[in-house]
């Protein structure tokens, strides 16, 4: 197995960047709100904004163009098997399937609520699952994606999840994680964060990727 990590590449460049009032959240955030958010239940997805998304609904402007970039960059063809870890309600997978109905898609999420309230067209392909213990054979998927998910685990489980991504992928991998590159970004990240348990400097993440023998691509979430 290679001891080199993949590319730092922003494949989410075309994802619309929402306006975030970081100062407002920092001044109003409470431990109780964080506990509610970390349940990843209805309040996190479709409750008040202070608990998470403040309403998690499909909008084609979010993933449609992003998915096209994934397909082109990884040269995904008919029959490609795609796994989304932390799939939520399946919006990204829906756009993959819409882009090419011959893709084989699967998604897992820790949230029973999200899976039960998934987009109807892809609901049958989703299930509740644990990123640190994937119920798939080695080398099953052509592409494994995990967007802002593994950092919601503590460090030990986060490492296991990254190793699992490597294990079940036979080709391409891409993940994004909460990260910072300087003290200002660190302050902003901790002010905004509701759910992440593992927040690291970008260079620390790269060392972790090497430690876990992760060979896939990656990028950072910074509010």
- pLDDT of amino acid 20: 81
pLDDT(38) > 90: yes
Mean predicted confidence (pLDDT) in 181-193: 95
Residues of the chain with CATH 3.40.50.150: 31-129
**What is the DSSP-derived secondary structure letter of residue 152?**
G
Residue 172 phi, psi dihedral angles, 5° rounding: -105, 150
Q: Which CATH number does 31-129 carry?
A: 3.40.50.150
State the sign of the Cα–Cα–Cα–Cα dihedral 36, 42, 44, 48: negative
pLDDT(3) > 70: no
Long-range contacts of 108-116 (CB under 8 A, 24+ apart): 108/83, 108/84, 108/134, 109/40, 110/40, 110/86, 110/152, 111/40, 111/41, 111/44, 111/45, 112/41, 113/40, 113/41, 113/42, 113/44, 113/45, 114/40, 114/45, 114/56, 114/87, 114/88, 114/89, 115/89
- pLDDT of amino acid 1: 43
pLDDT(178) > 90: yes
Lowest-confidence region among 48-62, 80-94, 114-128: 48-62
- pLDDT of amino acid 18: 78
């Amino acid at each position: 197995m290679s001891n080199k990590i993949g590319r730092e590449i922003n494949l989410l460049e075309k994802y619309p960047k929402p306006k975030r009032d970081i100062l407002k959240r920092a001044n109003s955030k409470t431990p109780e709100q964080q506990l509610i958010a970390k349940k990843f239940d209805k309040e996190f997805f479709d409750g008040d904004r202070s608990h998470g998304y403040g309403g998690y609904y499909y909008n084609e402007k979010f993933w449609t163009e992003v998915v096209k970039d994934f397909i082109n960059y990884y040269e995904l063809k008919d029959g490609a098997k795609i796994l989304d870890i932390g799939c939520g309600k399946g919006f990204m997978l829906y756009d993959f399937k819409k882009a090419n109905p011959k893709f084989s898609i699967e998604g897992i999420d820790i949230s029973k609520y999200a899976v039960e309230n998934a987009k109807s067209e892809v609901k049958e392909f989703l299930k509740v699952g644990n990123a640190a213990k994937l119920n798939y054979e080695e080398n099953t998927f052509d592409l494994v994606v995990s967007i802002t998910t593994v950092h919601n685990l503590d460090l030990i489980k986060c490492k296991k999840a990254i190793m699992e991504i490597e294990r079940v992928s036979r080709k391409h991998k891409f993940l994004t994680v909460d990260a910072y590159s300087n003290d200002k970004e660190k302050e902003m990240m901790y002010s905004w964060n509701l759910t992440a348990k593992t927040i690291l400097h970008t260079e620390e993440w790269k060392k972790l990727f090497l430690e876990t023998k992760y060979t896939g691509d990656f990028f950072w979430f910074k509010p």
